[in-house]
A and B are shown apart, each in its own frame.
Chain A
Amino acid sequence: MPGSPTIWDDLTLILPLIVLWITSFVLLLGDVVVWKKNRDLNPILAIVGTLIALGIAVYQTISLTGDKAFARSLNMDALAQVSMIALLVTGLLAILLAWTYLKNRGLERGEYYPLMLLSVSGAALMGAANDLIVLFIGLEILSFALYVMAGFSRSDIRSEEASIKYFLLGAFASAFLLYGIALVYGATQTTQLSELASRVHSAQTPMLVAGIGLLIVGLGFKAAVIPFHQWTPDVYEGAPTSVTAYMAGAAKIAAFVAMLRVFDSLAPVSSVWLGAIQALAVLTMVFGNLLAIAQTNVKRMLAYSSIAHAGYLMVAIATLAHRLDGPRGAQAGELAMTGSLFYLFAYTFMTLGAFGVLIYLSNRGKDYQQIEDLRGLVRHDPRTAYAMLFFMLSLGGIPPTMGFMGKWQIFYAALSGGEIMLAIVMALTSVMAAFYYLKIVYVMCFEEPREAAPAPAQFSFGASLSVLLSAAATILFGIMPGLLYTLTGLVR
């Protein structure tokens, strides 16, 4: 192309995103005009599109160039590619989960899958952002789709509440983030993260400190870090379970990859933000786990558990602060990067799996949400109960599951980076977490079922496959973490 010789290279680098966008446009229009009533085509086409995008993303990861695209506003390095793979896998599992769930509830509107694909693309943009403005746009694309999806069950007042609450608080948090970006720009005259890294050290003004503080608030909201977590339980509980599962995985990956990027380039001024991140990490780990213990609703419990997991990931962010403190710190920083990516993979598999079990059981006609509903599950549906058992062990961080491997990597990174206090808090709160995860196991396996014999679960291909894949990944990567480590290890 004359005048702009690199535009095709740029477009090739974001080819997975383009595939997602085209797929969502086709789905959006096709559902209204072409195949009006054949609603099974929607998930099938969405899966095809996601698989193509995933294939391209994997290919691009193998032949990694690490180029910056679009006037250095996107950084298509290993972190971007690997997080894109994680997001596409999350999207794929979530589409499978939603298939029958939506159909059984009459929520099968054509907009669901396009929204989900668009939000995946927004999340991937966040992961690839080399510019704070691109990061913000990615965040908004991700969030807008999630606001709508949370309220997808229009006739259910809880779903409406979840949507409006998420929207209002999310808009507020976005404003914080944007103000933070503006102040950081004011202090350093740049929004590009790679430029920022070389400029922040000589620009330590109160304006920069305020900007970083607001960035922490904005990103912390998306990542559900205490004290910015108030929306999480209500939204997770109110939204349709298939949306909750997707949101839990995708939003967490996007928020933390963005945090890794931002705080990686802010490492030269780590003394400014390290204390805040440490405090947030401790608060999040302690209160996330404490509040989860009191829950009687599985979705709410998993919401607080997602908060607790955000706390563990904050430990990795805090470790990143020591990246420039000599060779030992550099090694710890690398470990924190790879470890948190591994952890995000683990988190998305086990959380989607746990929600997937709820979705699978909900195909019986009533929603399985309370811990009471799972009572004695092993008696009448042993396979599902064992799958849930594995996800609970993994969430609790008990070997030989993926959750353990992820937590171990972050723990090790924190120790070698000198964050001894955080490592201790992490170990102690993990023990606390075991209580409520094992409570579900106890209720499932050692208590008598309340009802004699509930109607057998209607077989649903999508949910079964999704749960099966998640369980397989949780166990496989738990026993042989090296397989996944070849992927996450690229991020150094």
Chain B
Amino acid sequence: MLNDYLPVLVMMAVATVIAVGMVVGSYLLGPKKPSRFKQSSYECGMTPVGTARERFPIKFYLIAMLFIIFDIETIFLYPWAVTFAGSERAVKLFNLAEMAIFVGILFVGYFYILWKGAFDWDEGQREDAEQPSRKIFEPRAPIRFGNESSGEVRLKAAADVSSSPTEESSRLTHV
């Protein structure tokens, strides 16, 4: 019975050998000429200039949260529509009413966020916008995470490579 799986086993063995062979082979045979750019974290794309933990507007989170309302609606509407098409005539009206109530409840949420102004990207423009209490914007002790460095970001690999400092490397090291 398990014999049927023998090709799979062979396949896995071959795949493993090839994968390991390639990595080990390039490690043993390949020329090694390290340079500071090769050893920095990314060889392509943007030069890393700071921590990824930047503050960005909370509105993005808000939009992501509001999406749930429409998301859930779609998730339930699809299977409902499939069964509705196949349902008997007698229960069709009942099924329709059930879905109407469900969508009605979702609409309560939708109109709430609509009238509350959650879709206004630039809420300062609205005349009747609620003024948030001052306290929210008062400066506060910064929240620190344990693994955060003290602000200066150093790229260790780039700093360790001893070669003539160009403008590029100084930007990498001291920003």
Report B-chain residues with C-beta under 8 Å of the C-beta of A1.
94
Q: Contact between B88 and A32 (Cβ–Cβ < 8 Å)?
A: no
Give A239 Cβ to nearest chain B Cβ, in Å: 17
Q: Contact between B116 and A154 (Cβ–Cβ < 8 Å)?
A: no
Chain A residue nearest in CB terms to B87:
A3
Report A-chain residues with C-beta under 8 Å of the C-beta of B112.
28-29, 32
Chain A residue nearest in CB terms to B135:
A155
The answer to whether the Cβ of B140 comes within 8 Å of any Cβ in the partner chain is: yes
Q: Contact between A4 and B91 (Cβ–Cβ < 8 Å)?
A: yes
Report B-chain residues with C-beta under 8 Å of the C-beta of A2.
90-91, 93-94
How many residue pairs, one in A and one in B, have C-beta atoms under 8 Å apart? 31
Q: If A154-B136, A155-B136, A157-B140 touch, does A32 touch B115 (CB 8 Å cutoff)?
A: yes
> How many residues of A are counted as interface, with CB atoms below 8 angstroms from the partner's CB atoms?
14
The answer to whether the Cβ of B26 comes within 8 Å of any Cβ in the partner chain is: no
Give residues 55-97 of B contacting A (CB, 8 Å).
Answer: 88, 90-91, 93-94
Chain A residue nearest in CB terms to B136:
A155
- The docked-state distance in angstroms from the alpha carbon of A7 to that of B91 is 12
The answer to whether the Cβ of A456 comes within 8 Å of any Cβ in the partner chain is: no
Q: Mark A1-37, 1 if CB is under 8 A from B, else 0.
A: 1111001000000000000000001001100110000
Q: Contact between A3 and B90 (Cβ–Cβ < 8 Å)?
A: yes
- The docked-state distance in angstroms from the alpha carbon of A1 to that of B96 is 12
Chain A residue nearest in CB terms to B97:
A1
Give A25 Cβ to nearest chain B Cβ, in Å: 5
- The docked-state distance in angstroms from the alpha carbon of A106 to that of B105 is 29
Q: Most chain-A CB neighbours within 10 Å: which of B88, B116, B136?
A: B116
Q: If A154-B136, A155-B135, A155-B136 touch, does A4 touch B94 (CB 8 Å cutoff)?
A: yes
Give residues 107-130 of B contacting A (CB, 8 Å).
Answer: 108, 111-112, 115-116
Give A115 Cβ to nearest chain B Cβ, in Å: 12
Give A328 Cβ to nearest chain B Cβ, in Å: 49
Report A-chain residues with C-beta under 8 Å of the C-beta of B111.
29
Q: Contact between B108 and A29 (Cβ–Cβ < 8 Å)?
A: yes
Report B-chain residues with C-beta under 8 Å of the C-beta of A4.
91, 94
Chain A residue nearest in CB terms to B113:
A32
- The docked-state distance in angstroms from the alpha carbon of A154 to that of B140 is 14
The answer to whether the Cβ of B133 comes within 8 Å of any Cβ in the partner chain is: yes
Report A-chain residues with C-beta under 8 Å of the C-beta of B105.
25
Which listed residue, A3, A32, A154, touches B91 by the CB 8 Å rule?
Answer: A3
Report A-chain residues with C-beta under 8 Å of the C-beta of B115.
29, 32-33
Give A206 Cβ to nearest chain B Cβ, in Å: 28
Q: Contact between B108 and A155 (Cβ–Cβ < 8 Å)?
A: no
Q: A1-B94, A3-B88 are in contact. List 13 more A-B contacts (CB 8 A).
A: A2-B91, A2-B94, A3-B90, A3-B91, A4-B91, A7-B94, A28-B112, A29-B111, A29-B112, A32-B115, A155-B133, A155-B136, A157-B140
Q: Which residues of B contact A (CB under 8 A)?
A: 88, 90-91, 93-94, 105, 108, 111-112, 115-116, 133, 135-136, 140
6 contacts between A and B (CB under 8 A): A2-B93, A4-B91, A28-B108, A29-B115, A154-B136, A155-B133
